[in-house]
Chains A and B, each alone.
Chain A
Amino acid sequence: MLNLVVKRLLWGIPVLWLVLTLTFFLLRAAPGGPFDQERELPAEVEKLIAAKYQLNQPIVQQYGHYLKSVIQGDLGPSFQYVDYSINELITLGLPVSLKLGFYALLLALLLGIGLGMVAALYANKWPDSVAMITAVIGISTPNFVIAPMLIMWLAVNWQWLPVGGWSGGHWSYLVLPVITLSLPYIAAIARLVRGSLLEILNQPFIRTAKAKGLSQKAMIFKHALRPSLLPVISYLGPAAVGLMTGSVVIEQIFGIPGMGRYFVQGALNRDYTLVLGVVLVIGLMMLLFNLLVDLLYRLIDPRIDQNSPLSVGNG
């Protein structure tokens, strides 16, 4: 187990390096720069600014510099938010995004597993049909379609909830973003649970349990549920990645000051260090989360081969 963790973390270093390098050169290949303004600055001033942020050096040298400071844990100064370092910005934005993502994932798991169980228990009866039709619609409706509609009804027309904003993460500001962010995952998890639970309920060990007169409740919660959650766990990896990208849109719509918004704003403003910092943190989160999923998977299903260190959770 420890072996796996170490191997995966070591493996993460070249991956993160690749992410950083790709992003760095992509950013620099882009037209425009961080200090372009509508009113043109005198050439001397521009030179001074470029010198201050070391943008006048050859690009390879800048790259070397940046890499060195990243290794030392310093993500550099922001080009747009004067007086802020990227480290500070990320310390502000990351907890917000994490909170949003955590509640969304929690809601998706609870509702998804619940709905999937109901659908499997009433397989091919009306609750099943209703649940599965809702699931297909849920998967097929992008969150940027649902979000404005919910805002219109719940926030604008009925004024139950705030339209947007964050307000330090007060629960009323969390409700709408969390619901919209989690809907597609509720649907996907419900479908996974239904499928695997149906398959498990046909297995011989369940038949035996039934023959021995076990109540349906005990049968499901003690025997069938645990193995049927395996596909859900391997789905958690891709789901987390989806939540991170999904929250780019959600943060944009609801005006939430998280990583996703920094990313889009940073890219539009050519705030090189901010974009690099956000991409690096997201890459790291993906890596850690996938590792966590793999560990969880091995915990629930000890049959998994311990010696295949790189079998990634998804796929």
Chain B
Amino acid sequence: MLNRFMQMRLRDLVILAVILFALPLFLNNPFYYDLATQMAIIAATVVGLNLLVGFAGQISLGHAGFFGLGAYFTGIMTSNYGWSSVPALVVGAILVGIIAWIVGRPILRLKGHYLSMATLAVGFIIAIILNNERALTGGPDGMPVPAFTVFGWELSPFGSYNLLGMELNGSEAWYLFAAVVLLVAVWLAQNLIDSPIGRALRSVHGSEVAARVVGVDTARYKSLVFVVSAIYASAMGSLYAHFQGFITPAVAGFDFSILFITMVVLGGMGSTMGVILGAVVLKLLPQVLADFQELETVMFGAILMLTMIFMPKGLLPTIQMAVGKRMKKKAGGQA
């Protein structure tokens, strides 16, 4: 039975669900819930980015731009125009999808470094616009965002809720919400990967020329996955804005884009569970290292460097490989 489970298509999703819903047993402080919620939202963004980086093999250095656009669209629409959260999130995601499609078509014709440079520029432009349109975005000092509301029902990190007879405070409710969102994001991504589109994407990653030769419309698939990953980023940006309650243009900034890419690379390109691990590790490190004060940045860099030198495939794939080898050895010894 264990064997059958291990071969199940959605095995990873089940494992993730178990971890996510068991985690509250170990969290005893709203601060941990806070962190875990952010991790889940960021992880879902990175799962989307991984479709582009890990499966289609295209690098985007401007993804925070899309994340920030989603966050600001939600912020502006809900606080200035009285929109409800869900329509703001959906319309924002559609708009960002259209923007990604428009800029994606010409950009994705570029290859290698040129593609990264172009996405980098898109990210920068978005950040500059958010910084300078002070009347709309509040400028560099940022803007407040109201709590997440659905049909007049409000999900605030400061509220208190009742779920199936369980008393939940706002942090716990948000965590559960974010956990479900992450599961849905992973489920969608897994389905996309296992569909014909996913196979086409992997063929693009393998060799674009070969993919074209066998009849894959590479330009179409590349821009499709670019749009999908941008929509992921935008939707998660909207949730992030609601959760944080306050956003600054830094959410669309270059540093944040690099953080996203680092999460993908560190966790393991092309491994959905891996990039989630990457997101968790990179969100956790600053908190863990905070006690080392001025050594924090040095240690952060050293950890990243050592991981990349000794685990070039990323954290999770390397661990899986090591465990696999061990199990094989064990099996061999027994026989």
Q: Do A and B come from one complex?
A: no
Interface set of A (CB-CB < 8 Å, partner B) = none
Point out residues on B near A: beta carbons under 8 Å.
none
